[in-house]
């Protein structure tokens, strides 16, 4: 997944303005205008690196002349105590952009790190780890990028990308069959996903012609049953109640996808610091 550069610049500028980085009174008072400095971005825990393009965009929005030398590629594992990158240039730029750059880097690396844990947990099975639309408003592109960097697979990006009839849609439609019929006549070639909660609803959706089903909050035995009933007629996505402790069991049922909202709504930020040296 590629980051859209115009959107990145807009996000970075908004973040810098929010922090008043262009009017940093402490730095302006203490640091001479021509003072140069070197710094490193230091990993203070093991992590999967993600977000360096945003870090670069942040500092260069303040000073295009700042030099940044990456030590690792996006998606690579960084060990505690290793330098992620080396920076050199205006000391004022380093200090004024530090917090915004770290906020992006820690957040996105946190998502990538958590995603990699889930991907590793299901390695060897057919299941792919998906993200969801449970993202921070305004930051979906970045957070989806972090999931992909961590080895996960991006689900539908927004409400226009694919049709997904969930419980509230089905309550209004009256049944999975009616919802599918309505969507099939409306969306054309867009993918249609129907949520089901039990074997009865699954059979009804299959009978209607659904080729992708979301298995909502099903137990491990019910997931296995759903895979058998489907018999390969539809791609199956397990969703709800998935954790690192049970994701391997979920994958072992034979589902095609496992969606995990926690990848974006609950990933803890990793610990990275900016250390200025001589």
The radius of gyration computed from the CA coordinates of the chain, to the nearest angstrom, equals: 23
DSSP code per residue over 115-172: HHHHHHHTTTSS-EEE--S---TT-HHHHHHHHHHTT-B----STTTSEEE-HHHHHH
Q: Give the chain's length.
A: 278
Q: Answer yes or no: do 75 and 200 share one domain.
A: no
Same domain, 180 and 247: yes
3/142 Cα distance (integer angstroms): 7
Segment (H or E) for 69: strand 67-70
Q: What is the per-residue pLDDT for 188? A: 67
Same structural domain for residues 32 and 52?
A: yes
Q: pTM (2 decimals)? A: 0.94
The CATH number for 134's domain is 3.20.20.70
Cα four-point dihedral sign 143, 146, 152, 158? positive
What does the alpha-carbon distance between residue 7 and residue 13 come to, in Å, rounded to a whole number?
A: 10
| Separation CA 45–CA 47 (nearest Å) | 6
- Do 261 and 137 belong together in one domain? yes
Helices 52-62, 5-18: crossing angle, 10 deg rounding: 60
Q: Are residues 97 and 135 in the same domain?
A: no
> Same structural domain for residues 74 and 132?
no
Structural domain that includes position 63: 5-115+267-276
Residue with tokens 């792919």: 128
Cα dihedral: 142, 145, 149, 153 (round 10) = 140
Residues 233 and 258 in one domain: yes
Q: How far apart are CA 49 and CA 203, in angstroms?
A: 43
Strands of 163-165's sheet, edge to edge?
128-130, 257-259, 235-239, 212-216, 192-196, 163-165
Q: Given this model, what pLDDT does residue 191 score?
A: 82
Provide the domain count of the chain.
2
Question: Is there a contact between 218 and 249 (Cβ–Cβ < 8 Å)?
Answer: no
- Residues forming the active site: 99, 134, 166, 195, 216
Are 88 and 67 spatial neighbours (Cβ–Cβ below 8 Å)?
yes
Same domain, 169 and 246: yes
Same domain, yes or no: 37 and 142:
no
Q: Output the domain CATH number for residue 13.
A: 3.90.1170.20
pLDDT score, position 70: 97
What per-residue confidence (pLDDT) applies to 189?
64
Owner of token pair 């930020």: 269
Dmax over Cα atoms in the chain, in whole Å? 73
Q: Are residues 103 and 144 located together in one domain of the fold?
A: no
Q: What is the mean pLDDT of each successive set of 10 residues along the chain, which is 278 residues long?
A: 84 97 96 96 98 96 97 98 98 98 98 98 97 95 97 93 89 87 77 91 90 95 96 95 97 97 97 92
Residues 56 and 127 reside in one and the same domain:
no
Element housing 115 (H / E):
helix 91-121
Residue whose tokens read 């589902």: 255
Query: Helix or strand or coil: residue 128?
Result: strand
Residue owning tokens 């960097």:
149
How high is the pLDDT of residue 16?
A: 98
Beta bridge partners of residue 213, listed in sequence order: 194, 236
Is 135 found in the same domain as 91?
A: no
């Amino acid at each position: 997944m590629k980051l859209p550069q115009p959107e990145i610049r807009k996000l970075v500028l908004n973040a810098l303005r929010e922090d008043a980085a262009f009017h940093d009174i402490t730095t302006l008072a203490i640091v001479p205008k021509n003072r140069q400095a070197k710094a490193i971005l230091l990993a203070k825990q093991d992590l999967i690196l993600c977000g360096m393009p945003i870090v670069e965009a942040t500092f260069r929005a303040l000073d295009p002349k700042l030099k940044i030398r990456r030590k690792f590629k996006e998606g690579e594992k960084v060990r505690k105590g290793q330098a992620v990158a080396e920076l050199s240039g205006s000391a004022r730029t380093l200090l004024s952009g530090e917090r915004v750059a770290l906020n992006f880097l820690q957040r996105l690396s946190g998502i990538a790190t958590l995603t990699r844990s889930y991907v590793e947990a299901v390695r060897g099975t057919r299941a792919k780890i998906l993200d969801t639309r449970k993202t921070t408003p305004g930051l979906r592109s970045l957070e989806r990028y972090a999931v992909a960097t961590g080895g996960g697979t991006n689900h539908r990006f927004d409400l226009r990308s694919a049709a997904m009839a969930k419980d509230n849609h089905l309550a209004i439609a009256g049944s999975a069959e009616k919802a599918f019929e309505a969507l099939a006549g409306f969306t054309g070639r867009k993918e249609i996903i129907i949520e089901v909660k039990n074997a009865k609803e699954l059979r009804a959706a299959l009978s209607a012609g659904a080729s992708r089903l979301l298995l909502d909050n099903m137990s491990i035995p019910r997931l296995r049953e759903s895979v058998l009933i489907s018999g390969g007629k539809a791609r199956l996505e397990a969703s709800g109640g998935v954790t690192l402790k049970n994701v391997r069991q979920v994958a072992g049922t034979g589902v095609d996808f496992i969606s995990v909202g926690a990848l974006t709504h609950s990933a803890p930020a990793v610990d990275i610091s900016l250390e200025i040296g001589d």
